[in-house]
Amino acid sequence: MPSPLSDTDRQINSAAAMDNSFMLPLRPPVDKRDHKDTLPVRIAQINTQRGSFRNVTEQSLQAEIDCQKEKGDVSDDEGGETKPTEVDATEHLELLYKRRAEIMQSAVQAHMEATFALDFLSLLLSKHVPRQADLSMSAQLKQAIPHGSLNAEVVKARQSSESAKQDTSAVSRGWKLESFNAAANKLLKSAKRLENEVSAETKYWIEVLRVKEKGWKVCRLPKERQALGVQFGFLEATPVFRDRGLASLRRVDDGSLILDRGIAPARPRVLRVRVKKDGLITGCSELSRFMAGNGNSIEDRILQARDTLFEDELFHELSREARIMGNMGVRTRQNLIEFEFGKGEEVMFDMVDLDEIFTQVDSDTRSYGHGVTANAVAYGIRILLMYAHRQNLRRRKQTPPPLSPKKRPLPEYLLLRPVAAYLQHNFHVRSLDSFLGEVYQILRSAGLECGYTTGTFSSIKFAPKSDTASTTECLVEGFLAPLESSFSGTIVTTASTFSVKIRTNLSPPSPGTEYEFSINLPDFPHTQPPSRMGLKDEVETFIIHLITLNLTSSISTITSQKSRAPSDGSSLTAPRPSRKLLEWEAPFANYGELLAVSRISGRTKKLSISLSRDELTIRTKWKSAYSEPSKPITGRRPEPQPLSYTWKSTDESGKKLKLSDVVLEASKDSR
């Protein structure tokens, strides 16, 4: 308290002195004390005048001194000492250290004095409040002096003079007013602040409640106990993605929510499926279905975050599976997975950014027929991923296997394999179907009665709903087994039949499509189909071969029948019953060739059958008896032209001659 007193004292006195117009001052002149103020006083002065010592720099002091010098003030003794320009650099440093040591000493001294004061007071209090005094007494004092050895009594206060009393009361009144003002201000300010806080909190909680009502799981964050977070990820995903599914709801100053996703706020990306045929993109999946809109509400942001996380996980699992499917022709790059499933048809998976999602170029979406496929594949892999999640949940619910030091890796989800299997199977089935359809069309237009039946995808069985598996799971499970389809048909004669079973496996030991044949040809009992055919072309060749075999045998039976029974139904034969018919034999049935020896001329006639997907052709040719073409054959009747007849698949039924007629025509014997 000494400094305010001395300040005010000096001020009042100087004011009084100036107002007084007496020649002789009544009050003793105030002279500056000879000794400077003690260091504590000066420190306190500097503190009050300039804030703290931090604000006192050499430059500021020097500036002040210069100002004073300019004003022509009375000599300041201290000015000379602290002129830094006269002092050398090293001496300056030493001076600094010296002063610092002095300051430290004063501080230590002050600390000691304060400790003494504390001890004194606690000793005093130890009489009245022993327990509290104990807390504040230092250990030394406790040992040295017993409790309660100091006492204090109230002594009648010395009456201070009136002016002093007035002084005191005036100053204290001023203080009190000031402190009341300060308290009132503080209270008002904090009231306003608290009001803002309350409104912000209300807004925050309204939003949080709204989020919770939509069904999202709101929880406390494990790291920060004060913040709330929302869980939008999938609990069954791999741990990487499960942890990324937690975001904290933070409050901005005015109360609105921010979704804080942590380190990886990825841009929204969607997995895109494209179908390519011969280098041209013919189909593309719809992307906007899988990503929530771009709205600003917290709900939209959560949905978008969840969708992005799902798509990321999808691509991650797909590439994981594609890596083990390398032997089946799946190629992976950093952002692309592609595989081929048919003749020149490819499926590509890649990730696409948000901007492209909503402004999809129209030329891509105008599908050239494969848009449906692309969409179906896109939906399919997502459903399969959710099914894999359910499998994870089921596996977690079961009792765990016995502990072993080997860590069991998680098997890759079945995402790409079922899709690839289905597409491949479909491709094979449809191509075989169309092939058989065309061939049988040709045969029917040639008048042969034959037909075939199909049983496509006959292996898909849906297990009924049980306790452990819901309907959706049964539905999906039906597609995860190896796919099978079967075809069976009659070849030319009803006695000979064949049946093909196509099976597509998803995984080793034999991934891919296989064809299994079983045939029943009574005319060629020793013909066996090759086992395990896998290529579509081989199968087609084999079927043609079968049919050719059967045709040869049937042709030979036609003529033998006709020649054996000329009496019945002879309207078909030529009106000259005297002409004999050739009898065909098939020594080279495998090549589709029949030979007949003419009884009249002794020459051999060759009949060859060629069957392909587009047409069936029968050609006949007389083989010359002598193999000397150079020898002129004179005197003979001109040879009849070689006969050739074709049935095409585009022929309308009924327009062309039947096979039997053509054969009969060809079997006419002639010289």
Partner 1 sequence: MDSQPTSKILHNRINTNISQLLQRFENIMATAAVLTIPFPLLCKKGIENPSYAATAIETYQLDVESTALIRAAEDILSLTRTMKETWLFGKLDTLGEDERDIKCREKLEGDALTIKKTIEESGVWDAAK
Q: Which is nearer to partner 1, 103 or 177 (CB)?
A: 177
Q: List the x/- string, 450-489, binding to partner 1 by CB under 8 A.
A: ----xxxxx-xxx-------xxx-xx--x-----------
| Minimum distance of partner 1 from residue 159's CB (angstroms) | 10
In sequence order, which residues have a C-beta less than 8 Å from that of residue 549 and are 6 or more positions away?
Answer: 521, 523, 524, 527, 589, 590, 592
| Minimum distance of partner 1 from residue 300's CB (angstroms) | 19
| Minimum distance of partner 1 from residue 475's CB (angstroms) | 5
* CA distance linking residue 444 with residue 449, whole number of Å: 6
Q: Which is nearer to partner 1, 49 or 453 (CB)?
A: 453
Does 169 interact with partner 1 (rule: CB under 8 A)?
yes
Does 103 interact with partner 1 (rule: CB under 8 A)?
no
Nearest-CA neighbor of 282 among 271, 274, 270, 290? 274
| Minimum distance of partner 1 from residue 194's CB (angstroms) | 6
Distances (CA, A) of 47 to 53, 489, 584, 638: 7, 111, 132, 141
* CA distance linking residue 426 with residue 540, whole number of Å: 16
Of the CA atoms within 13 Å of residue 279, those in its CB half-sphere come to: 0
Q: List the x/- string, 190-229, binding to partner 1 by CB under 8 A.
A: x---x--xx--x---x--xx--x--x-xxxx----x--x-
Q: Which of 8, 20, 115, 179 binds partner 1 (CB under 8 A)?
A: 179
Establish whether the linkage from the previous residue to 28 is cis, with ω within 30° of 0. no
> What element of type H or E holds 85?
none
Distances (CA, A) of 333 to 267, 269, 322, 336: 20, 17, 10, 5
| Lookup: tokens for 222 | 């494990």
Q: Which is nearer to partner 1, 58 or 195 (CB)?
A: 195
Q: Which of 53, 97, 120, 175 binds partner 1 (CB under 8 A)?
A: 175
| Lookup: tokens for 38 | 């003690």
Residue positions counted in the chain: 671
The answer to whether 415 and 381 have CB atoms below 8 angstroms apart is yes
Does 388 interact with partner 1 (rule: CB under 8 A)?
no
Q: What DSSP assignment string belongs to 94-106?
A: HHHHHHHHHHHHH
Q: Which of 171, 252, 266, 574 binds partner 1 (CB under 8 A)?
A: 171
Q: Which is nearer to partner 1, 79 or 455 (CB)?
A: 455
Does 152 interact with partner 1 (rule: CB under 8 A)?
no
Nearest-CA neighbor of 357 among 284, 267, 297, 269? 269
Does 168 interact with partner 1 (rule: CB under 8 A)?
yes
| Minimum distance of partner 1 from residue 460's CB (angstroms) | 4
Q: Which of 173, 599, 623, 671 binds partner 1 (CB under 8 A)?
A: 173
Does 671 interact with partner 1 (rule: CB under 8 A)?
no
Instruction: Give, as one character, the DSSP assignment of residue 494.
Output: E
* CA distance linking residue 208 with residue 228, whole number of Å: 9
| Minimum distance of partner 1 from residue 419's CB (angstroms) | 16
Number of residues that bind partner 1 (CB under 8 A): 47
Site for partner 1 in 396-455 (CB under 8 A): 454-455
Q: Which of 10, 100, 128, 186 binds partner 1 (CB under 8 A)?
A: 186
Q: Which is nearer to partner 1, 356 or 516 (CB)?
A: 516
Residue whose token pair is 């999809």: 360
* CA distance linking residue 396 with residue 239, whole number of Å: 14
The answer to whether 495 and 522 have CB atoms below 8 angstroms apart is yes
| Minimum distance of partner 1 from residue 397's CB (angstroms) | 11
Nearest-CA neighbor of 351 among 323, 325, 316? 316
| Minimum distance of partner 1 from residue 341's CB (angstroms) | 18
Q: Which of 53, 97, 116, 180 binds partner 1 (CB under 8 A)?
A: 180
Instruction: Look at strands 493-505 and 512-520 and give their pairing.
Output: antiparallel
Stretch that binds partner 1, among 181-189, 250-258, 301-309, 314-322 (CB under 8 A): 181-189
Chain positions contacting partner 1, by CB under 8 A = 1, 157, 165, 168-169, 171-173, 175-176, 178-180, 182-183, 186-187, 190, 194, 197-198, 201, 205, 208-209, 212, 215, 217-220, 225, 228, 454-458, 460-462, 470-472, 474-475, 478
